[in-house]
Structure 1
Amino acid sequence: MGVRVGYFDCFSGISGDMTLGALVDAGVDHRAIEEAVASLGLPGSLSFETVKKGGFRATHARVETPHEHAHRHLHHIEAIIDKGRLTASQKDLAKKIFLKLGEAEARVHGSELAKIHFHEVGALDSIMDIVGSAVGLDLLGVDRFEASPVPPGRGWIRAAHGRMALPAPATAEILKGVPLADSPAECELTTPTGAAILTTVVERFGPLPAITIESIGLGAGTRDLPEQANVLRLFIGTVDLPPSADRVWVLETNLDDLPGEVVGYTTIKLMEVGALDAFVTPIQMKKNRPGVMISVLCDEAKIPAMEETLFRETSTLGIRRYPVSRHKLKRQAIEVETPFGPIRGKLGWIENRPPTFSPEYDDCARAASSRGIALREVYDAAHAAYRAKEAGEGRTSPVPPPAHEGGHGHAPHHHEHPHDHSH
């Protein structure tokens, strides 16, 4: 099983036009990006050309726009995005990138998000860069993005508010929590636009993972640097997972102002909409307030449903999410006969190791309740029945699962999660 990864090698920083160039050079159809940007109805044009940077061939995204003095707010930019012929996911990604920029500008200037004027990043070329990048990132079709540490650059820049040391304040704000890298180049290597694109999509910053490379895209920066090739490299490839491993997502949110009944109800609703698991951990929050962290484990397709449930049922203002891989035991459904009736369960095993048997809670609880006995007695009886079954059949390893995927036999699907200890 392979996970398709896009890795940004930002040894010379990152900007909007470098991202666009790298995406096209890595294989995205430039016409799709050009048509999407043209559908915004803005004056100007986007085209791509092959250039050389530091002796290396790369693709340069050329954005040509007329000079303007407009200072746009976030709602103006969102209206422009909504006019374009983009998919819902592409529009959503473009808006998330601009939101990242707007929140950084608001913190830097001590203002409210709704009042922030987008200066340089609200210009026509930046809008085209971001919308084009959102389309290209979507069309690339990777499962996850990773990136190297990011060099912001050295020296000074002249911005709308005068001379400013690098990194620019908005860039520094956006790169909070991101490992930075040094560079001898005396110029701005990473722009606010590049930083916002990167931090919106990248899930991990670090060295190049052990990928099988499919393609490498080089996106050219505008400036020629004497010290190094001014390019952004984008590696596309796959990372293989073991056959018994898969990739799921963890969503987390911290709460300190909800009654316990609401927290418990929320975990029930999360399971009802498809969580693999949902659990609560006591935590100590700021100002020494006791609180809880709700954690949810789910497949990627279930993330919107999980987040909708958390935002609806709790007072949270934000949800963290990150992918994890899990190593699962091979599993097979089984049923044993006990003095209290049939009890379903699962066998789990690793190759060449004895299997473990886990009775289904629902069956055990139903038997205990109907007979008026302790739950643990039913569990003990189920385990004893399994041992007797194994001894009678003389097996030391489980029967291979049925031909259909999962090997659950006739066990209903809703029994999948209570004993899924592989989470």
Structure 2
Amino acid sequence: MKTLYLDCPMGISGDMFLAALIDLGVDPKMILRELKKLPVDKIDVEIKKVSRHSITGTTFKVRLTESHHHRTFKDIKKIIEESALSPKVKFLSTAIFKVIAESEGKIHGIKADEVHFHEVGAMDSIIDIVGAAIAVDSLKVSKIVASPIALGTGWARTMHGTIPIPAPATLEILKGVPTAASTAPFELTTPTGAAIVKTLASSFGPMPSMTIEGAGYGAGKKDFKESANLLRAVIGSSIGGGTAEGVERLTVLETNIDDMSPQVAGYLLDKLLEKGALDAFYTPVQMKKGRPGVLLSVLTDSEKKDGLLDVIFAESTTIGVRAYEVDRHCLERKAAKVKTPFGIVRVKLALRGGRVVNIQPEYEDCRAAAEKKGVPLKQVIDAAREAANGLR
């Protein structure tokens, strides 16, 4: 299982995050190729190596001729949705912007869709957020963990005037997220950086146990005398998979749907199983306003998660999917043949600790024997189970 760890002793911003992943090894040409799917005339990107306290890192800066700097969240969603980006990248990008919109809306007392993005709404920040979604999607990691976030101190000049650091939006976004003390008189964590880490990270704390495969450094704009202004991204594999013998670490994808036709619902399950889902099923649920709906649940290993997400977003009407890891405990299985009064029947044996705990006769064998001998099916099944009891 791949894990990405974000070490944020000097905070996080959109350009530092993207630069760190490029320094980690994500192909910048691939990012630019995907970014060209956005409705932008020209994207001029400067990516270069810099030094911060003798540590080499990468900077990412976007320069473009774009004059429309004021957009609402509704405008930005339209830009992303009408692009040719993948469903996963669209979902991540919109989710990050939604976090910012909801926090700004709460601060200014307006609806999220009505929030006007000034600095964030400028196209360079749209590039930062969409580029971040493209880059992290390309890594195909199962989990993202972040350190406590340093915020900075002081004052910042904005279109609304001078405001304290951390910015109100940053504080609102990072509710529930552990932060680290910092005396740097600068905005270390921006609303964009806060939204990225809040959306992507599943937990916060020290670096988890893993076999390290690579590290990248994203450099901030300022070069402080006291500390190296760097965001560090570390990728690695879980040691031993983190599970005991007979236990598989899998991922559950689930979403509630109340506006999809039954024909599409059946087709969706078929497509998910064709794509490699270990299991896929619906559970009846009651949704908002008393509407009947279904809970779609999909069980998969981490390698197939992104492909299955693509199927869900392409084939269903949902706009959001929850994902979480589970442990599946599996019994050891063996096959055997038993002799019954109605013929030879194959049985499946399930063992725990070397002891048979479950016996299941093969249905097709039992059905064929029942039809051939002219006896009830359940009589053949009972006979096969009785014969298999000798194998316990």
Question: TM-score band (shorter)?
Answer: 0.7 to 0.9
Q: Find the partner of 1:332 among 331, 334, 340.
A: 334
In 2, Cα distance between equivalents of 1:360 and 1:203: 43
Once the two structures are TM-superposed, the CA of residue 224 in structure 1 deviates from its matched residue by 2.2
Matched, 1:130 2:129: yes
Classify 1:17/1:308 alpha carbon distance in 2 versus 1 (closer, same or farther; 3 Å). closer
The 5 Å alignment of 1:7-406 reads 7-37=5-35, 40=38, 41-42=40-41, 45-65=44-64, 68=67, 70-81=69-80, 86-239=85-238, 240-241=240-241, 244-251=246-253, 274=273, 276=279, 296=297, 298-299=299-300, 300=305, 301-303=307-309, 320-334=322-336, 336=338, 346-349=348-351, 353-359=354-360, 383-388=385-390, 390=391
Once the two structures are TM-superposed, the CA of residue 84 in structure 1 deviates from its matched residue by 5.8
Classify 1:387/1:20 alpha carbon distance in 2 versus 1 (closer, same or farther; 3 Å). same
Once the two structures are TM-superposed, the CA of residue 60 in structure 1 deviates from its matched residue by 0.9
Deviations 1:245-264 (CA, angstroms, capped at 9, x unpaired): 43322356799x9xxxxxxx
Amino acid at match of 2:124: D
Residue equivalent to 2:261: none
8 Å CA contact 2:21, 2:216 repeated in 1: yes
8 Å CA contact 1:184, 1:227 repeated in 2: no
In 1, Cα distance between equivalents of 2:197 and 2:15: 13
Once the two structures are TM-superposed, the CA of residue 21 in structure 1 deviates from its matched residue by 1.0
8 Å CA contact 1:331, 1:349 repeated in 2: yes
Once the two structures are TM-superposed, the CA of residue 125 in structure 1 deviates from its matched residue by 1.8
In 2, Cα distance between equivalents of 1:190 and 1:153: 7
Once the two structures are TM-superposed, the CA of residue 140 in structure 1 deviates from its matched residue by 2.5
Amino acid at match of 1:232: L
Decide which structure has greater strand share. 2
Amino acid at match of 2:328: R
8 Å CA contact 1:250, 1:295 repeated in 2: no
8 Å CA contact 2:335, 2:349 repeated in 1: yes
Once the two structures are TM-superposed, the CA of residue 43 in structure 1 deviates from its matched residue by 5.3
Residue equivalent to 1:4: 2
8 Å CA contact 1:106, 1:116 repeated in 2: yes
- 10-19 vs 28-37, which moves further: 28-37
Residue equivalent to 2:262: none
- 134-143 vs 330-339, which moves further: 330-339
In 1, Cα distance between equivalents of 2:269 and 2:389: 32
8 Å CA contact 1:100, 1:174 repeated in 2: yes
Classify 1:305/1:105 alpha carbon distance in 2 versus 1 (closer, same or farther; 3 Å). same
In 2, Cα distance between equivalents of 1:37 and 1:325: 37
Once the two structures are TM-superposed, the CA of residue 85 in structure 1 deviates from its matched residue by 6.2
Amino acid at match of 1:64: R
8 Å CA contact 1:251, 1:321 repeated in 2: yes
Amino acid at match of 1:247: R
In 2, Cα distance between equivalents of 1:123 and 1:232: 23
User: Helix, strand or coil: the match of 1:120?
Assistant: coil
Percent identity between the two aligned chains: 39
8 Å CA contact 1:270, 1:278 repeated in 2: no
- 73-82 vs 107-116, which moves further: 73-82
In 2, Cα distance between equivalents of 1:332 and 1:8: 44
In 2, Cα distance between equivalents of 1:304 and 1:35: 20
Once the two structures are TM-superposed, the CA of residue 219 in structure 1 deviates from its matched residue by 0.4
Structure 2 unaligned residues grouped into runs of 5+: 259-264
Amino acid at match of 2:123: L
Once the two structures are TM-superposed, the CA of residue 61 in structure 1 deviates from its matched residue by 1.0
- 318-327 vs 334-343, which moves further: 334-343
Amino acid at match of 2:183: P
8 Å CA contact 1:174, 1:195 repeated in 2: yes
Amino acid at match of 1:15: S
In 1, Cα distance between equivalents of 2:387 and 2:95: 56
TM-score (norm 1): 0.69
TM-score (norm 2): 0.74
Deviations 1:228-270 (CA, angstroms, capped at 9, x unpaired): 2111111122124257443322356799x9xxxxxxxxx9999
In 1, Cα distance between equivalents of 2:363 and 2:167: 58
- 142-151 vs 62-71, which moves further: 62-71
Q: CA RMSD in A?
A: 4.5
8 Å CA contact 2:347, 2:388 repeated in 1: no
Classify 1:68/1:346 alpha carbon distance in 2 versus 1 (closer, same or farther; 3 Å). same
Amino acid at match of 1:185: A
User: Helix, strand or coil: the match of 2:183?
Assistant: coil
8 Å CA contact 2:254, 2:298 repeated in 1: no
Classify 1:67/1:90 alpha carbon distance in 2 versus 1 (closer, same or farther; 3 Å). closer
In 2, Cα distance between equivalents of 1:166 and 1:173: 12
Amino acid at match of 1:331: R
In 1, Cα distance between equivalents of 2:181 and 2:94: 30
In 2, Cα distance between equivalents of 1:79 and 1:383: 61
Amino acid at match of 1:103: E
Once the two structures are TM-superposed, the CA of residue 53 in structure 1 deviates from its matched residue by 1.4
8 Å CA contact 1:344, 1:363 repeated in 2: no
**Number of equivalent positions:** 371
Once the two structures are TM-superposed, the CA of residue 302 in structure 1 deviates from its matched residue by 4.2
Once the two structures are TM-superposed, the CA of residue 110 in structure 1 deviates from its matched residue by 2.8
In 2, Cα distance between equivalents of 1:139 and 1:214: 16
